Amino acid sequence: MPNVAKLINWLNENFPLHYAESFDNVGLLVGDPTAPFDSIALTFDATPEAVQQAVALNTKVLISHHPVIFQGLKTITPFERNQKAIMSAIKYGINLIAMHTNLDRATGGVNDVLAQRLGLKNIMPLSENDGIPHLIRIGELPQGMPVDDFLQWVCVRLNSKTLRHNNPTSRAIKRVAVCGGSGSQFWREVHQANVDAFITADVKYHTFWDAQDSLFIIDAGHYETEVPVLQNLRNQLSETFNVPIHLIHSENPVKYFVYGNQGND
């Protein structure tokens, strides 16, 4: 039976931990590297609900995209969600692993999967530094699309209920940059790459304003741009580990109210 250390080694080979941003916290966050496992669960956020589902599945490994420990903890009590999840994981012997910005950056990770989901071809990192790829991926649609058609395409492919964007700077969209999650800080670098659109999330008002005459920025949602990677990660794990790989749904905490439509989901 494999142990957690073997899993961490495999993850590090495919999504190197040193690819993570300096502010990040990745790898084994809660648990014992010598612990054996006979199944793996994947989720977007290691919420208390996700941990309880892992308990119900009788799995001892829960891999999340977002780290359950991100900033320094001074207490571990059941009064905050991340701390409640940690307490449950320790109680039931569940090992919590995070693959965050290293998974964003690595080949076959968040941004490659996002580009593929959008139908882009000839996908490449924006740049490389000492062999480490940039977070941004750039690719091309098979043929140019009118702006409105492209926006609808993004909604369909990412299951997005709504998009935020500034004014388009091209009549047709063909060359596209993507960065799942919060990537708008790179917009000036992306502009230099001569793309027709940049898809990311968590875009601030002033970023839209600053880029207004330079770059068409589309905010497609943090959850929507990152969650597609989980199925791809599941497939890769299944090729290596002969154990059940479970996907645990992690609900998008952001709700949308669209005027004229009933409901906020």
Distance CA(221)–CA(201), nearest Å, equals 5
Q: What is the pLDDT of residue 72?
A: 82
Mean of pLDDT values over 129-148 = 96
Give the H/E segment covering residue 171. Answer: none
Does domain 4-103+226-247 match CATH 3.40.1390.30? yes
- Do 62 and 247 contact (CB within 8 A), yes or no? no
Residue 23 has pLDDT above 90, yes or no: yes
Instruction: Write the DSSP assignment of 41-103 as a string of letters.
Output: EEEEE--HHHHHHHHHHT-SEEEEEE-S--S--S---TTSHHHHHHHHHHHHTPEEEE--HHH
Distance CA(219)–CA(258), nearest Å, equals 16
Residue 263 has pLDDT above 60, yes or no: no
Confidence bin at 261 (pLDDT 50/70/90):
low
- Do 90 and 60 contact (CB within 8 A), yes or no? no
Mean of pLDDT values over 17-39 = 97
Residue 19 has pLDDT above 90, yes or no: yes
Assigned fold of 107-220: 3.40.1390
Q: How far is CA 163 from CA 57, 147, 166, 256, 264, in A?
A: 36, 13, 10, 11, 15
Mean of pLDDT values over 221-230 = 98
Q: Write out the two tokens for 104.
A: 């964003």
| High-pLDDT (> 90) share of the chain, % | 91
- Do 15 and 102 contact (CB within 8 A), yes or no? yes
Mean of pLDDT values over 174-199 = 97
Instruction: Please determine whether the domains at 4-103+226-247 and 107-220 fall in the same fold group of CATH.
Output: yes
**Do you know the residue count of the chain?**
265
Confidence bin at 171 (pLDDT 50/70/90):
confident
Domain boundaries, the chain: 4-103+226-247, 107-220
Q: What is the pLDDT of residue 264?
A: 46
Mean of pLDDT values over 101-110 = 98
Q: What is the pLDDT of residue 259?
A: 79
- Do 196 and 172 contact (CB within 8 A), yes or no? yes
Q: What are phi and psi of 227, to 5 degrees?
A: -65, -25
Mean of pLDDT values over 60-64 = 98
Distance CA(211)–CA(75), nearest Å, equals 42
- Do 58 and 15 contact (CB within 8 A), yes or no? no
Mean of pLDDT values over 138-151 = 97
Coil/strand/helix, residue 221? coil
Q: What is the pLDDT of residue 262?
A: 53
